[in-house]
Amino acid sequence: MLKGVQKMDIDRLLALKEVRELFPADEKGKLPEGSCLLLSAMEELDFPPGRDIVTWGQAGEDGMYILMEGSAQVLDCHGEEINTLMGPGSIVGEMALIRDEPRGATVRAITRVRAARLSRVQFEEAAGSNRRLYGELLNVVYKKTTSLVREQARLHSELDIAARIQTGLLRRDFGGLEEQLGLRAWALMEPAKEVGGDFYDIFPAAPGKACIVIADVSGKGVPAALFMTMAKTHIKNYAMLDMPLEELAFRVNNRLCEDNPEEMFVTAFIGMLDTEQGILTFVNAGHNHPYVSSEQGPFHQAACHSDFVLGLWEDMKYREQKMELGKQGTIFLYTDGVTEAENPEEEMFGEQRLKAVLDRCAPEEDPKGIISRISMAVKDFSVKKGAVQTDDITMLCVRALCRKEGNER
- DSSP symbols for 171-182: ----TTHHHHHS
- Domain annotation covers residue 165: no
**Nearest-angstrom CA–CA distance, 71 and 66:** 11
Higher-scoring residue by pLDDT: 148, 79: 79
193 and 136 in a single domain? The answer is no
- Domain annotation covers residue 405: no
- Domain annotation covers residue 164: no
Sheet holding 393-400, edge to edge: 183-190, 393-400, 330-334, 291-293, 300-301
Whether 129 has a pLDDT exceeding 90, the answer reads no
Which CATH number belongs to the domain containing residue 257 in this structure? 3.60.40.10
- Domain annotation covers residue 93: yes
- Domain annotation covers residue 392: yes
386 and 285 in a single domain? The answer is yes
409 confidence band (pLDDT: 50, 70, 90): very low
> Domain end: 128, 159, 190, which one?
159
15 and 138 in a single domain? The answer is yes
- Domain annotation covers residue 34: yes
pLDDT at 407: 43
- Domain annotation covers residue 30: yes
Which CATH number belongs to the domain containing residue 64 in this structure? 2.60.120.10
Q: Give 196's contacts (C-beta < 8 A, 6+ positions apart).
A: 166, 189, 190, 220, 221, 224, 225, 228, 392, 394
Domains of the chain: total: 2
261 confidence band (pLDDT: 50, 70, 90): confident
231 and 286 in a single domain? The answer is yes
pLDDT in tens, 270-305: 999 998 888 999 999 999 999 999 877 899 999 999
pLDDT in tens, 171-196: 778 877 888 888 999 999 988 876 77
233 and 372 in a single domain? The answer is yes
> Domain end: 159, 191, 220, which one?
159
Dihedral over Cα of 377, 165, 258, 264: its sign: negative
Of the candidate ranges 124-128, 226-230, 370-374, the one whose mean pLDDT is the lowest: 124-128
**Nearest-angstrom CA–CA distance, 122 and 97:** 9
145 and 192 in a single domain? The answer is no
289 and 154 in a single domain? The answer is no
> Domain end: 136, 159, 182, which one?
159
Higher-scoring residue by pLDDT: 212, 42: 212
16 and 50 in a single domain? The answer is yes
153 and 299 in a single domain? The answer is no
Could you tell me the residue range of the domain that residue 59 belongs to? 6-159
Whether 403 has a pLDDT exceeding 50, the answer reads no
357 and 249 in a single domain? The answer is yes
Higher-scoring residue by pLDDT: 81, 308: 308
**Nearest-angstrom CA–CA distance, 355 and 24:** 65
Report the SS3 class of residue 404.
coil
138 and 242 in a single domain? The answer is no
- Domain annotation covers residue 409: no
35 and 153 in a single domain? The answer is yes
